[in-house]
Structure 1
């Protein structure tokens, strides 16, 4: 039997589907046991709660005294007691009997285990959302949808296994983010769209657009006197990364955020050119370019709205605080937090917009060179 016939056989497709599904399901369990620290964390179930009020430093403090049955660890099935301050906190965090929680384990001065409440165990909800997400993507996208899920997993693997560790080691954030993008491209493009001419052109268009984003960021971050300290969590990074220059970290985030959109629009433009060439074999560079750009302009309108609304949604709490502070517009716009969010949206959008003519030019030139192209 010929190799092509084997690959197209129903049995081969079923085996491939099961194999990829196993990878997806396995990733869920892997994420469930993934740890970024040596600190021991155990699951537990609240068996009983009591409200305790104590006097400390002349103030009345309320505690929620918890009786928790541990689900794992050396004290599995044992009942441990925890205290959680509930005064002046969100009452939605009030724990009830039967709630699943996470507790951290420490050793006291006598070497005995001491447990502290870490948080509510939200992993079951996360697993259900992930399963529903995978189901919808595979149900609608079928084989390609499943491959896109695998590509998404590999993309996050690059982020957590390469980009973040390299940044913590003190590597140049710009170089790390660019190399990380080239690691992501096979997962984002080739796994989802196959190894063919269209994917190759889209990869080149994406790479050029990423380079353009880097150049624009270097220019505007200097002109805008951007330091990278745009939020509260960034104040902890200098000690971790060993540098006070966080501009590269900001750039890495912008690039990662733009790559997903670049993948979509570059593949779309190459596909439009390929379809035009297949439907009109006599078309040369000019006709392919003009036809594809008409479609690209419509796509740009939707993409720009998507990008800006996505960035706005991510920074919505900041926008509410700025509005409530009632500061002059000049101060608000000049604040680094606001300026950083604007740069994220605008530079990512400029890269996406520029990718349309860049990719369309490459695809039109390559497909116009031959009368008959096999793109699949």
Structure 2
């Protein structure tokens, strides 16, 4: 417990020193997001609640915390929020289809031994739970990419107010291309970091490459990474177009009002 407190204190001090008030809000947002996730998990155990709808609501709340609470309400956060919600809705339908057809829901055989004493008949739809888990794993990366695109687009627009909508959209795509690879690789290495013990266990049990790739645990995580990558790729043109449309439309409305 003391280690957790010390690490949290060090993180808080560094975020204050580097980020100031925004750093403090970012630190508080960690606990707010944790509270949202905890409430989502609690409500998901109710068989009368649709996990997909619940996930959409949770993602909207998390997006509000990450965008509006940390960066305040402005044009860049509004367009980033709209882009995030559109991407999440598209991704949810896609992920639900993938989860149902790949049968990755539930637990893998490597996890059954620890769960043997528990009843698995809990009365919830594991296909929808699996889709919800994947989408919740991607929401952080999607909001991060959205604000990373809309923020510099707003800056270039203010420094060059006469820029066309097409050039502004192209600028957003250019930013997206720069961060696409790094964000996707971040998800990939996060998986290997979190499942390094499992991969070593596969090696000790002399699993072949085919057995590793076809195991439910490995496949579920790789599908999560691929779906998150698809979400990151989708948010780039969506956020770029919405932000370019919003900024140019605002400029045109201001000219008409004058």
> TM above 0.5, one fold?
yes
Q: Which runs of 5+ in 1 are unaligned?
A: 1-122
The correspondence of residues 1-376 of structure 1 with structure 2, limited to 5 A, is 123-160=1-38, 162-170=39-47, 171-230=49-108, 231-232=111-112, 236=118, 238-239=120-121, 241-243=122-124, 245-371=125-251
Q: Which runs of 5+ in 2 are unaligned?
A: none
Paired residues in the alignment total 249
**How far apart are the structure 2 equivalents of 1:226 and 1:156?**
25
**Residues 227-276 of structure 1: CA deviation (Å, up to 9, x unaligned):** 3223446774734x423x42323322222221111121101111122112
**Residues 140-189 of structure 1: CA deviation (Å, up to 9, x unaligned):** 111100011122211111112x2011012222222211111112222111
Q: Give the TM-score normalised by the residue count of structure 1.
A: 0.62
Runs of 4 or more, structure 1, over 6 Å off, are: none
Larger Rg belongs to: 1
**How far apart are the structure 2 equivalents of 1:270 and 1:234?**
45
Q: How far off its partner does 1:372 sit?
A: 7.6
Q: How far off its partner does 1:280 sit?
A: 1.4
Confirm or deny: 8 A CA contact 1:152 1:188 kept in the other structure: no
2:36 is paired with a residue of what secondary structure?
helix
Confirm or deny: 8 A CA contact 2:165 2:244 kept in the other structure: yes
**Residues 291-349 of structure 1: CA deviation (Å, up to 9, x unaligned):** 12112101112111111111221121111122333333333222211110111111112
Confirm or deny: 8 A CA contact 2:150 2:239 kept in the other structure: yes
**How far apart are the structure 1 equivalents of 2:240 and 2:149?**
6
Confirm or deny: 8 A CA contact 1:228 1:246 kept in the other structure: yes
Cα-Cα RMSD:
2.1
Q: Give the number of the structure whose residues are more often strand, by fraction.
A: 1
Confirm or deny: 8 A CA contact 1:214 1:251 kept in the other structure: yes
Confirm or deny: 8 A CA contact 1:315 1:341 kept in the other structure: no
